[in-house]
């Protein structure tokens, strides 16, 4: 007559009248005290072993000090502790970088693991929907190792069975807020595991001055800025094509001029030729002397210059056929870099239909066939929509600077890039903070990386022109 719940039984009914509530009393199982003590002792031992295994140094240090105190007295333990602390402080003052790498960041990681992540792990997982509470039991993703760098916490996580990376990527805001970080980035590492990155500071908040011009000729990868991890940002331009997308004032010129600046010694040596298409007549015209006769501004001149680049490419392909599959820059066959500022003006906003089709066909030909014979394209645009730039997928390497809409991030960097932390639409519009900051996604590494290009000022460009113009002839 009554539906019995698991572990419950109906007894001692006060009344059997229909309007009387039925009282259910849970079944009580009496456990022997000795069994309870054994279970609690076993759990305590398991947790103790797990703590020692996960934190061996934190467990050994107090155990060693306690043993010294017990066997030799407190003066020896105190003097040894003071000596160690003094040595660590001296090390920190004398060589801060090595101390931080070997000791400081490890201590910080241990503290943040205990005080931030492990303490808040259960409520954050449950509230964000990444954990489940079923029948009185919590099913939580397993928190792994925490590693601290100079700017971020890197947390490894083992997902629950049946979870996907997208489940975590959709909840980056919840994770960031739950653990007190400004943002969170999700990246898969191994099967069933992923890596969460929580930035503690922004190492790219300050503008970078123009980098020094290389002393030796090089075709790349060229150093044009700094990555978020503090290492130099080197961009490959030889053997690939690069698309740079960003709103007005996002810093596209910083990338273009930093690339040109790094290639000037090679251009002076005859190993590189810089061809410039400048339909806006603003950005590249300031250093027009660096390009010699390979500079075009009007749509007709741009079309002619692109056709000439296609002709160079086809002649090289005919000579290389059956002899070599990759290009090595030489004085006879230098690397040709075609720099196009605001390519959408030529491919989408050009009123002359025939001229627009001619330019689009030339760019498509260069981006599909040019890199094997040493002809590369570096193009910049503001609007990354498909109807504006229908050949954007022909660029293997892409850079997203500040964008106006969140949907544009995936248009530039590919599907899922924003879910994995490429928040190009959140970059500050203040030039001192956000100009030149962006996310790069390379052909060889699908995970977006945050970078900042160095700012090349007008004075730097004038100095470049004075030192390196003119610099050579045609291909």
User: 227 and 210 in contact (C-beta within 8 Å)?
Assistant: no
Q: Where are the beta strands (DSSP E) in 169-219?
A: 185-188, 193-199
State the Cα–Cα distance between residues 241 and 35, nearest whole angstrom: 70
Confidence (pLDDT) at 78: 82
Find the mean pLDDT for residues 307-318. 94
3-class state of residue 154 by DSSP: strand
Question: 24-38: per-residue pLDDT in tens?
Answer: 666 677 778 888 899
Residues making up the annotated binding site are 246-253
Question: 317-376: per-residue pLDDT in tens?
Answer: 999 888 888 888 999 999 999 999 988 888 888 888 889 899 999 999 999 999 999 999
Confidence (pLDDT) at 338: 96
Alpha helices (H) in 327-352, listed in sequence order: 344-347
Confidence (pLDDT) at 471: 45
State the Cα–Cα distance between residues 381 and 384, nearest whole angstrom: 7
Question: 413-430: per-residue pLDDT in tens?
Answer: 988 888 778 889 989 999
Confidence of residue 83 (pLDDT cuts 50, 70, 90): confident
Instruction: Tell whether the model's pLDDT for residue 472 goes beyond 50.
Output: no
Q: Which two tokens stand for residue 124?
A: 């954050």
Greater confidence (9 vs 330) lies with 330
Instruction: Tell whether the model's pLDDT for residue 1 goes beyond 50.
Output: no
Confidence (pLDDT) at 267: 93
Question: 12-64: per-residue pLDDT in tens?
Answer: 545 555 665 555 666 677 778 888 899 889 989 988 888 777 767 777 777 87
Confidence of residue 81 (pLDDT cuts 50, 70, 90): confident
Confidence of residue 474 (pLDDT cuts 50, 70, 90): very low
Q: Could you tell me what percent of the chain has a pLDDT over 70?
A: 93
pTM of the full predicted structure? Answer: 0.79
Q: Which two tokens stand for residue 456?
A: 């090349």
State the Cα–Cα distance between residues 335 and 236, nearest whole angstrom: 13
User: 246 and 382 in contact (C-beta within 8 Å)?
Assistant: yes
Radius of gyration of the chain (CA): 31
Q: What is the largest CA-CA distance in the chain?
A: 106
Residues making up the annotated binding site for ATP are 246-253
Question: 194-252: per-residue pLDDT in tens?
Answer: 999 999 988 998 999 999 999 899 887 999 999 998 899 999 999 999 999 999 989 99
User: Residue 340 is inside which H or E element, if any?
Assistant: strand 335-340
Closest Cα to residue 259, out of 295, 223, 288, 301? 223
Contacts 24+ apart (CB under 8 A), 158-166: 158/192, 158/193, 159/192, 159/193, 159/194, 160/130, 160/131, 160/132, 161/192, 163/130, 165/194, 166/416, 166/419
State the Cα–Cα distance between residues 154 and 88, nearest whole angstrom: 25
Handedness of CA 332, 335, 340, 343 (dihedral sign): positive
């Amino acid at each position: 007559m009554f539906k019995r719940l698991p572990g419950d039984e109906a007894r001692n009914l006060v009344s059997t009248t229909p309007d009387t509530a039925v009282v259910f009393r849970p079944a009580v199982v009496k456990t022997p005290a000795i069994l309870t003590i054994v279970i609690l002792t076993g759990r305590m031992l398991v947790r103790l072993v797990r703590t020692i295994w996960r934190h061996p140094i934190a467990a050994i240090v107090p155990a060693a000090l306690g043993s010294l105190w017990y066997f030799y007295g407190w003066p020896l333990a105190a003097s040894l502790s003071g000596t160690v602390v003094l040595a660590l402080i001296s090390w920190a003052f004398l060589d801060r970088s090595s101390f931080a790498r070997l000791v400081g960041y490890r201590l910080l990681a241990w503290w943040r693991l205990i005080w931030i992540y492990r303490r808040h792990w259960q409520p954050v997982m449950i509230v964000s929907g990444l954990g489940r509470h079923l029948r009185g039991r919590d099913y939580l993703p397993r928190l792994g190792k925490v590693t601290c760098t100079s700017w971020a916490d890197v947390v490894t996580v083992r997902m629950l069975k049946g979870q996907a990376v997208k489940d975590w990527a959709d909840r980056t805001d919840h994770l960031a807020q739950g653990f007190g970080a400004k943002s969170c980035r999700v990246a898969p590492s191994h099967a069933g595991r992923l890596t969460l990155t929580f930035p503690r500071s922004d190492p790219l908040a300050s503008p970078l001055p123009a980098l020094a011009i290389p002393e030796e000729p090089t075709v790349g990868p060229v150093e044009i800025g700094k990555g978020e991890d503090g290492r130099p940002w080197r961009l490959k331009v030889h053997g690939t094509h690069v698309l740079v997308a960003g709103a007005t004032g996002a810093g596209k010129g910083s990338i273009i001029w930093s690339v040109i600046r790094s290639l000037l010694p090679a251009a002076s040596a005859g190993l590189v030729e810089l061809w410039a298409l400048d339909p806006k007549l603003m950005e590249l015209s300031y250093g027009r002397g660096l390009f010699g006769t390979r500079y075009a501004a009007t749509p007709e001149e741009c079309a002619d210059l692109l056709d000439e680049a296609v002709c160079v490419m086809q002649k090289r392909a005919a000579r290389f056929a059956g002899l070599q599959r990759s290009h090595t820059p030489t004085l006879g066959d230098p690397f040709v870099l075609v720099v196009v500022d605001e390519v959408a003006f030529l491919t989408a906003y050009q009123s002359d239909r025939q001229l627009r089709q001619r330019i689009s066909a030339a760019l498509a030909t260069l981006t599909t066939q040019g890199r094997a014979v040493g002809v590369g394209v570096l193009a910049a645009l503001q609007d990354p929509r498909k109807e504006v730039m229908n050949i954007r997928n022909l660029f293997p390497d892409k850079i997203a600077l500040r964008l106006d809409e969140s949907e544009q991030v995936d248009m530039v960097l590919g599907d899922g890039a924003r879910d994995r932390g490429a928040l190009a639409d959140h970059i500050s519009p203040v030039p001192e903070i956000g100009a030149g900051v962006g996310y790069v996604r390379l052909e060889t590494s699908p995970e977006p990386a945050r970078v900042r290009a160095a700012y090349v000022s007008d004075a730097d460009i004038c100095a470049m022109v004075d030192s390196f113009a003119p610099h050579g002839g045609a291909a």
